[in-house]
Structures are given as structure tokens and as C-alpha cells.
Amino acid sequence: MSLRNCRTVKVLNVSPIGQSKTAGEFFELTLERPDWGGWKPGQFVMIRPTAWDLDMVWGRPFSICSGDDASVTLFIQAVGRGTRRIAALEPGDKVSMWGPLGNSFAVEPDTPTLLLAGGIGIAPFRGYVEQHPHPENLSLFLAHRLPLDCYPFELMSRTVPSRCMLEAKPSDLDCIIETMRGLIEEFAGKGGLVLSCGPTPFMRTVQRFAKEYGARAQVSLENRMACGVGACLGCVIKDGEGHHVQVCTRGPVFWADQVEI
């Protein structure tokens, strides 16, 4: 990626989402859209608020959730020092943003496509649903731990048949895994496509059932990233042949049978 893809943009809006216990835990961050040619769902940006100065050197990666001609929206869960400071940004603050980075999810307009999201992993699917030429061929399943109103689920369920399951206690996880098994088996049976994004154990479950039922499945990986552009080797994983590959440039989306998770 060349330096021309790094821009300083203004924060347009920061909106807390939902009623989770910690104020500001989930929020939407809307930034000015640089003069990008375009972006595809599954791609991400690295952002670094200008005010971080030398305090935190590396930016933080986030999926592009949504966007229009004037803005880019990210859907963020505050989990640590960087994301908590991003949650405290205000309109007018400046942010360095580079992207769009990485590859994107497969789009097969006429294929029944299952979107499997674990928690914050729902973020790239909002853009996927918005850009898909035939959203009637999509189905969404969300497994979540925090209240449903923390996620853009209702918005998406207006467009695509959607299901969600709350993991409130350990036995709920067994039900979620069995539901995922059933869905992956069903979509494999009808020659469908399975796209998934979520925490690593969630991705491993998708990979396991995709193998078991012969489903064509993609997983989006959220490895820790420092540079986001292939230079630091901080995000390396092994591909299906045991070769080291960078998640930021070769991913973040991989076919489930072509990566070690």
C-alpha cells in the first residue's frame, strides 16, 4: 500500500450503541470518507487518532461496517486502552486512517449465503448486506454475549432472514454450536456459501463443521495487527500448506480449508 492511502480525516460522529453495562462499550465511529475509489465488505482500515502523538505508536484495525460518498462508519467494541480512547473521540477530532486494506468476502449473487457472526464480528456483514445485489439470498446468524441492542442486528434483520442466540451461561454455548452445525450442514447440502467473522474459537468451530459437511466456507481472522500493510510480520499465520502468510495482506478473509486457525 502506498502512502497516498494514508489520510488524516475528521471524526464526524461517535454514537454509543445499546445498553451494555459499561458506558461506551459499543459505539459507531463515523469518519470523513477519503477520496477512495471504493471498498468491499470484509476489508478493513487502520486508524490512529492524531492526539495519540507518541503515546501509542501503532494504529488499530477495524472492519469497514458501512459507508457512503461522504463517510465511513466503523462499529467498535471498547476492549482495551486504544479502543477506549477511540470511544472518547469527539466530532472534529483528527484521525489518521489508512485503507481500505486486505481482501474481501466472496460475493456470489445467486448462491444461498449464510452469514455467521460472533459478537462484534457482525461489523463487516452490515456492509455486505447493504452492497449485496440479491440480499434475499442471504441469511444471518448472530451469537452474542451482550444485549442484542448493542449490535446492528435489528437493522439487518429488516433486510435478511435473521436469527440470534444469546450466550448467557455455559450450556448456551452448546446450543449455539449445535445450531451452527445444523446451519452449516444445511447450506453445504444446498451448495451454499458460508461466510463467518468472530472470535478465534468461533472461527475454529466454523472450520470444523465446514470440513465435516464439505461446506464452502470463508473465515475472517482478527489477528493482532501493528502495521496493517505487510511490513511488521506481527499478524502471521500458517496457510493450509504450512507456509507463513500475513493476515493483513493475504486476508483477513481466508477459505476455511486453506488456513490454520
Ligand X SMILES: Cc1cc2nc3c(=O)[nH]c(=O)nc-3n(C[C@H](O)[C@H](O)[C@H](O)COP(=O)(O)OP(=O)(O)OC[C@H]3O[C@@H](n4cnc5c(N)ncnc54)[C@H](O)[C@@H]3O)c2cc1C
Say whether residue 81 binds ligand X (CB under 6 A). yes
Instruction: List, in order, residues 6 or more apart from 243 with CB less than 8 Å away.
Output: none
Instruction: State the nearest-atom distance from the C-beta of 228 to ligand FES, in Å.
Output: 5
Say whether residue 196 binds ligand X (CB under 6 A). no
Residue placing its CB nearer to ligand FES in the complex, 177 or 232: 232
Number of residues that bind ligand X (CB under 6 A): 21
- The stretch near ligand X (CB under 6 A) out of 33-41, 60-68, 103-111, 205-213 is 60-68
Q: Which does 160 bind (CB under 5 to 8 A by kind): ligand FES, ligand X, none?
A: none
Say whether residue 95 binds ligand X (CB under 6 A). no
> Quick one: which of 204, 22, 17, 225 has its CA closest to 123?
17
Say whether residue 63 binds ligand FES (CB under 6 A). no
- Cell digits of residue 38: 471504493
Give bridge partners of residue 66 from the DSSP assignment. 73
| Interhelix angle 170-189/200-213, nearest 10 degrees | 40
Q: Which of 195, 246, 254, 259 binds ligand FES (CB under 6 A)?
A: 246
Say whether residue 99 binds ligand X (CB under 6 A). no
Say whether residue 79 binds ligand X (CB under 6 A). yes
Residue placing its CB nearer to ligand FES in the complex, 146 or 235: 235
Instruction: List, in order, residues 6 or more apart from 155 with CB less than 8 Å away.
Output: 126
Restricted to residues 222-241, the positions that interact with ligand X (CB under 6 A) are 222-225
Say whether residue 42 binds ligand X (CB under 6 A). no
Q: Which of 248, 253, 259, 261 binds ligand FES (CB under 6 A)?
A: 248
Q: Which does 62 bind (CB under 5 to 8 A by kind): ligand FES, ligand X, none?
A: ligand X
Supply φ then ψ for residue 193, to 5 degrees: -120, 140
Q: Which of 75, 125, 153, 209 binds ligand X (CB under 6 A)?
A: 75
Restricted to residues 206-225, the positions that interact with ligand FES (CB under 6 A) are 225
Instruction: State the nearest-atom distance from the C-beta of 237 to ligand X, in Å.
Output: 11
Nearest-angstrom CA–CA distance, 123 and 118: 10
- Cell digits of residue 195: 461466510
Binding site for ligand X (CB under 6 A): 44, 60-63, 74-77, 79-83, 120, 123, 222-225, 252
Binding site for ligand FES (CB under 6 A): 225-228, 230-235, 246, 248
